[in-house]
Amino acid sequence: MSTAPAEISVEPRVHYLNVDYGIKSWLLTTDHKRIAMLYLASITFMFVIGGAFAVIMRLHLIEPTGALVEPETYNKLFTMHGIIMIFFFLIPSIPAVLGNFLVPLMIGARDLAFPRINLLSWYIYVVGAAFTMYAVVSGGVDTGWTFYTPYSSTYANTHVMATALGVFITGFSSILTGLNFIVTIHKMRAPGMTWFRMPLFLWAIYATSMIMILGTPVLAITIVLLALERLLHVGIFDPNLGGDPLLFQHMFWFYSHPAVYIMILLGMGVVSELVTCFSKKRIFGYSFVAFSSVSIAVLSFLVWGHHMFVTGQSIYAGLVFSLLSFLVAIPSAIKVFNWTATLYKGSVSYQAPMLYAMGFIGLFTMGGLTGLFLASLATDVHLNGTYFIVAHFHYIMVGSAVMAYLGGIHFWWPKITGRLYPDTWARFAALVIFIGFNLTFFPQFMLGYLGMPRRYAFYPQEFQVLNVMSSAGASILAVGYLIPLVYLFWSMRYGPVASSNPWGAKGLEWQTSSPPPTDNFEETPVVTEGAYAYSSEEAPVV
Amino acid sequence: MPWWSGFPIHPERGSTIAEGVDHLHYFLTAITLIFTAIIFATIFYFAVKYRRQSENDKPPHIAGSLTLEILWTLIPTLLAFVTFVWSASLYFRNSRPPEAALEIFVIGKQWMWQLQHPEGPREINELHVPVGQPIKLTMISQDVIHDFYVPAFRVKKDVLPGRYSSIWFQATKTGKYHFFCAQYCGAQHAGMIGWVYVMTPVDYEEWLSGGVKGESMAQAGGRLFGQLGCITCHMPDGTGRGPSLEGLFGKPVQLQDGRTVPADEAYLREHILNPRALTVKGYPPIMPTFQGQVSEEQVLQLIAFVKSLGTEERKPAKP
């Protein structure tokens, strides 16, 4: 994907894709749209690798004794699956691809505030990914994506440092991207684009950027401390050296819990765009949806201790973290209700992006509600560390976040590439993914409740039936993810040419041509109405 | 076996707390199902009823409804609060071991469980306990973080290096239940599993006294106390260079730095391994560290010995 499809040059109009075809014009670009494409190519590559690891794991678990690989290899597989998917796919997915492409377009700007820093953040991502991929090909790492000490700092003899260094470096890419978005949204909005006229996707981007710049440095610090202990034997986490093993978990989850909201908040932002467009309605309760994003972002920093209910932390700390975790569920519920209410008296069409959005709402509802089991102290004691957790966070991070990401890719694909994909195939893929996902992960809720611990390379016989069901579902899910990969690639060359606004959507990005010219707009747009003005009446803000 | 036996609706219930946890679990399952059904049904209904008739549809302008927003903020908040109070009170109850609990010691290491009864018997990956009696497990890891998990009892707690943690349970029926390591701990993590054998008290007594008659933990600790030379300073009559340890366990201790701390397991362990941090008021800081010279198992034996001092050669706890 390093060069644009050649036949676009048949079109006389110059746009960001056909303005130059040289390899240098891509690698040295400062155009936010081209950088988004660089990210799209890189994270898709990482997704395929991380997905392949998942496929091997599910095949392995068909047999209680383990069907394919040695336990050591299995441990490396789930570790690298987690690290690649979280740090190199999910966290950059919506912000770095859709955010990069859309933020300037949605606010009517020519580019991000710092175009060169934007390119730098992609290079930093690539360097980080290179270190991690080096660790993968040179033997792998087996600490779990959570790098818990003292296993990671003292006992593991796999490539911990190369992997952690990769994660450390990639963090700076997140920080720079977040910084860029915040400055851009503050300073570069077109005339008339007030905060409360912004599309909700931008509110989500803003809240997420805050998390990225406030949370990521803590992860970086944690990794530095881990390195100090592993390489120089400075006692920080290992009690044999005078350290505290739980300190690591506090620091790690202080970043990594909010990181989950990086993924899901943006998914929510995308879905707000899709639901409004495909029901031709203003979002129901705009300000409630907007402020729920902000309150989720704030609360996300105060709930990390719910990962540690069984570590022996004080039961009073457990009490506070449990209460706060219940609180974070409420803004999420508000969003779900408002999306549903948006459909009321709308003009609902079932084009592919809408099916992805509906899939998101369904899976997010289930993922969110099963989170209550884990916020509840008494049930968490039983469920923590089992497949219930695995199922829950996959409903949120894969079921919901990836569904929203794909919905967004399908929605803005005509804008990004100037081409349409076959809608029937896209709808079929959405259905296959939804069904495959549920078949894969629903049995895991039951496995967890019945007591099967996660990260087991082999397991007692009584868990086999549910494991086989999960693996069978995973094969459907894998096909579901491959279908869009095929038709989206196909559409870049053979898809029908898209108009500037194929969905009849509101939003500044649809007012410019598809694909947009390098400078985005012929002339700076002036905004006179709020987002989602699908109805004729003037829109008062609730 | 019927075909549905592969799909039990709840894991086996083998402890006094299991049913309470399950009831909360069912309540949460009901909430999940009800809300999911409401959302799915409403979306489905709206999507069909308001499906697009033509590209020129002009839906009405609806900005929102304050009443609805308040309603669907308050209802989840209320439900969340009810669930929170329920789960927290259950958790509080489940966290406190009863006074009369029978104590058993657990040492986790890559990749096995060692279980030590005060009376002497030592087991690997097996734990024999009597039914109907509260059991308190005091646990420590020799290397990385492990986690002791008995699904049938609904109990789980991390087993940490350098620090004691504990759980308790009271088994309600005899039988054989799996326990697992639930915190990833390296290559053979999945192999770090074993069985709890719940026996009648009579069978348990028989099991305790059967097999090779070894020394109790306190006796082994007493032997170590002599071998390591502890006895030369900690003389029973208090005339040694260190304080007498008679009747010390559980009492408050005044430290050189002004703190007063209870002489519990954590204090004794720390004092054996890092004595300078806990110098007792009125004594010179001359005790050497035993870090690296004693295993976690031996530390537990020493503690058992100190516990037995001043209690008229404490007999193994009888139910």
Rounded to a whole number of angstroms, the distance between the first and last alpha carbons of chain A is 44
ipTM of predicted complex: 0.90
Interchain CB contact of A229 with B (< 8 Å): no
Task: List the single residue in A with minimal CA-CA distance to B8.
Answer: A450
pLDDT at A177: 96
- The CA dihedral of A393, A399, A405, A407, to the nearest 10 degrees, is -160
Beta strands in A167-313 (DSSP E): none
CB contact under 8 A, B36 and A369: yes
Q: Are A125 and A156 in contact (CB under 8 A)?
A: no
Nearest by CB to B182, from A385, A449, A541: name it: A385
pLDDT at B212: 61
Tell me which residues of chain A have a pLDDT lower than 70: 1-12, 536-542
Question: Is the bond preceding residue B151 a cis peptide, omega within 30 degrees?
Answer: no
The count of residues in chain B is 319
Beta strands B112-116; B122-124: pairing state: antiparallel
Amino acid at B276: R
Residue A94, H or E segment: none
- Two structure tokens written together for A252: 């790690």
Where is the domain boundary, B164, B182, B209?
B209
What pairs with residue B108 in β-bridges? Answer: B113, B141
- In total, how many domains does chain B have? 2
CB contact under 8 A, B182 and A384: yes
Q: How far, in Å, CA of A303 to CA of A297, rounded?
A: 11
Q: Are A170 and A89 in contact (CB under 8 A)?
A: no
Say whether both B273 and B225 belong to one domain: yes
Q: How far is A388 from chain B (nearest CA, A)?
A: 12
Task: List the single residue in A with minimal CA-CA distance to B76.
Answer: A330
pLDDT at A541: 43
Give the other-Cβ count within 10 Å of A69's Cβ: 16
CB-count exposure of residue A223 (10 Å: 0-12, 13-18, 19+): buried
Interchain CB contact of A373 with B (< 8 Å): yes
CB-count exposure of residue A90 (10 Å: 0-12, 13-18, 19+): buried
Q: How far is A318 from chain B (nearest CA, A)?
A: 9
Confidence of residue B3 (pLDDT cuts 50, 70, 90): low
pLDDT at B316: 41
Q: How far, in Å, CA of A542 to CA of A441, rounded?
A: 38
Q: What tens digit of pLDDT does each residue of B255-266 get?
A: 888 888 888 888
CB contact under 8 A, B143 and A155: yes
Mean pLDDT score of chain B, rounded to an integer?
A: 88
Nearest by CB to B64, from A375, A534, A542: name it: A542
Q: How far, in Å, CA of B85 to CA of A378, rounded?
A: 11
CB contact under 8 A, A71 and B156: no
Please report, for residues A244, A372, A374, the alpha-carbon distance to residue A392 in angstroms, rounded to integers and kept in the order given: 29, 10, 9
Q: Which domain holds residue B168?
A: 102-209
Among residues 92-111 of chain B, which lie with CB inside 8 Å of chain A? Answer: 92, 94-95, 110
Q: How far, in Å, CA of A152 to CA of A147, rounded?
A: 5
pLDDT at B319: 35
Residue boundaries of the structural domains of chain A? 32-510
Amino acid at A350: Y
Nearest to A42 by CA among A84, A79, A99: A84
Nearest by CB to B21, from A327, A378, A504: name it: A378
Please report, for residues A37, A136, A259, A303, A304, the alpha-carbon distance to residue A212 in angstroms, rounded to integers and kept in the order given: 21, 26, 8, 16, 16
CB contact under 8 A, A323 and B84: yes
Judging contacts by C-beta atoms under 8 Å, the chain A residues touching residue B110 are 155
Q: How far, in Å, CA of B224 to CA of A117, rounded?
A: 65
Maximum separation of any 2 CA atoms in chain B, in Å:
100
Q: How far, in Å, CA of A96 to CA of A441, rounded?
A: 27
Judging contacts by C-beta atoms under 8 Å, the chain A residues touching residue B165 are 312
In a mutational test of the A interface, the residue from B31, B46, B53, B159 whose CB has the highest number of chain A CBs within 10 Å is B46
User: Cα B94–B97–B101 angle (5° rounding)?
Assistant: 135
pLDDT at B216: 87
> By mean pLDDT, which of A113-122, A177-186, B28-37, B212-221 is the weakest?
B212-221
pLDDT at B248: 87
- Two structure tokens written together for A152: 């990671």
Is B244 inside a domain boundary?
yes
Residues 6+ apart with CB under 8 A from B227: none
Say whether both B266 and B235 belong to one domain: yes
Say whether both B197 and B225 belong to one domain: no
Nearest to A257 by CA among A426, A88, A371, A140: A371
Among residues 149-188 of chain A, which lie with CB inside 8 Å of chain B? Answer: 150-151, 154-156
The dihedral region occupied by B62, where left means phi > 0, alpha psi between -120 and 50, and beta the remainder, is: beta
Judging contacts by C-beta atoms under 8 Å, the chain A residues touching residue B186 are 75, 142, 151, 155-156
Q: How far is B288 from chain A (nearest CA, A)?
A: 17
pLDDT at A533: 87
Q: How far, in Å, CA of B238 to CA of B228, rounded?
A: 18
Nearest by CB to A312, from B69, B143, B157: name it: B157
CB contact under 8 A, B28 and A379: yes
Judging contacts by C-beta atoms under 8 Å, the chain B residues touching residue A455 are 184, 189-190
Chain centroid to CA A176: 17
Interchain CB contact of A246 with B (< 8 Å): yes
**Residue scoring higher pLDDT (A38 or B239):** A38
pLDDT at B308: 87
Say whether both B295 and B198 belong to one domain: no
Q: How far is B59 from chain A (nearest CA, A)?
A: 5
pTM assigned to the model: 0.91
CB contact under 8 A, B11 and A451: yes
Interchain CB contact of A366 with B (< 8 Å): yes
CB contact under 8 A, A540 and B73: no
Q: Which residue has the tokens 């069984």?
A: A310
Confidence of residue B33 (pLDDT cuts 50, 70, 90): very high
Asked if the model's pLDDT at residue B107 lies above 80, the reply is yes
**In the predicted model, what is the mean pLDDT of residues B88-100?**
89
- The CA dihedral of A235, A241, A244, A248, to the nearest 10 degrees, is 50
Q: How far, in Å, CA of A53 to CA of A270, rounded?
A: 28
SS3 for B81-147, per residue? HHHHHHHHHHHHHHHCCCCCCEEEEEEEECCEEEEECCCCCEEECEEEEECCCEEEEEEEECCCCEE
pLDDT at A536: 57
Task: List the single residue in B with minimal CA-CA distance to A347.
Answer: B52
Judging contacts by C-beta atoms under 8 Å, the chain A residues touching residue B30 are none
Where is the domain boundary, B187, B209, B231?
B209
Say whether both B230 and B303 belong to one domain: yes
CB contact under 8 A, A71 and B190: yes
Q: What tens digit of pLDDT does each residue of B41-85 get?
A: 999 999 999 998 888 888 888 888 899 999 999 999 999 999 999
Q: How far, in Å, CA of A412 to CA of A37, rounded?
A: 13
Is B261 inside a domain boundary?
yes
Where is the domain boundary, B188, B209, B230?
B209
Nearest by CB to B182, from A148, A453, A465: name it: A453
Backbone angles phi, psi at B196, to 5 degrees: -95, 125
Please report, for residues A82, A189, A191, the alpha-carbon distance to residue A195 in angstroms, rounded to integers and kept in the order given: 36, 9, 11
CB contact under 8 A, B187 and A349: no
Task: List the single residue in B with minimal CA-CA distance to A458.
Answer: B190
Interchain CB contact of A400 with B (< 8 Å): no
> Residue B263's domain is classified under what CATH number?
1.10.760.10
Please report, for residues A97, A515, B112, the alpha-carbon distance to residue A8 in angstroms, rounded to integers and kept in the order given: 22, 10, 63
Interchain CB contact of A269 with B (< 8 Å): no
Task: List the single residue in B with minimal CA-CA distance to A79.
Answer: B184
CB contact under 8 A, A370 and B58: no
Q: Spelled out in words, what is the top-level CATH class assigned to the domain A32-510?
A: mainly alpha
